[in-house]
Amino acid sequence: MELESNVTIQIQKSIEEVFEGIVNPEKMTKYFISESSGRLETGKEVIWKFPEFEDKFPIKEIKIENTSAISFVWDPETIVKITLEKLPDDSTIVRVNEKGKELNEADLKWALENSGGWANFLACMKAYLEYGIQLPKGAFDFMRK
């Protein structure tokens, strides 16, 4: 059995603004990552650094489908797919799906932690894109002490 994590949120911004908020490192560093080696583009590989971790994470096998989907691999066993759906009121539904790990105790712990991480990603993105609030600022300082 394969583990799968799914989280969803509606953001009161256009699909183009939400898409740019995900692929553009200048925006993403305001709500999710602390560093990026570049913009998410099909076929490119970038390196992400998170404020709460010392490690850097290679983001590989990036695939962009217009402004409607972004997928990548950041763990050899898992694929992340972010899909965007434009609504009639010009807001956007954002869905994050991550799957690929097998059901066992270690991977179940990983999946639960990542589900929380993706929910945090969506909440922080919503706060930043809608209101300019940088929720992660200072949120993980305690982890570096």
Could you read off the pLDDT of 18-47 as tens digits, one per residue?
A: 999 999 999 999 999 999 999 999 999 999
The CATH number of the domain covering residues in 2-139: 3.30.530.20
- DSSP secondary-structure letter at 40? -
Phi, psi (deg, nearest 5) at residue 115: -60, -45
pLDDT band (50, 70, 90) for residue 98: very high
Tokens representing 63 are 């695939």
Q: Is 80's pLDDT higher than 80? A: yes
Q: What is the pLDDT of residue 131?
A: 97
| 74-81: average pLDDT | 91
CB 73 within 8 A of CB 80: yes
- What share of the chain has pLDDT > 90, as a percent? 72
**End-to-end Cα distance, the chain:** 38
Q: What is the pLDDT of residue 35?
A: 95
Q: What angle do CA 77, 79, 80 make, to 5 degrees?
A: 140
Q: What is the pLDDT of residue 81?
A: 98
CA distances from 3 to 19, 96, 120 (A): 26, 14, 19
Q: What is the pTM of this model?
A: 0.92
Tokens representing 5 are 């994590």
Higher pLDDT, 114 or 47: 47
C-alpha closest to that of 48 among 19, 11, 74: 74
Q: Is 73's pLDDT higher than 90? A: yes
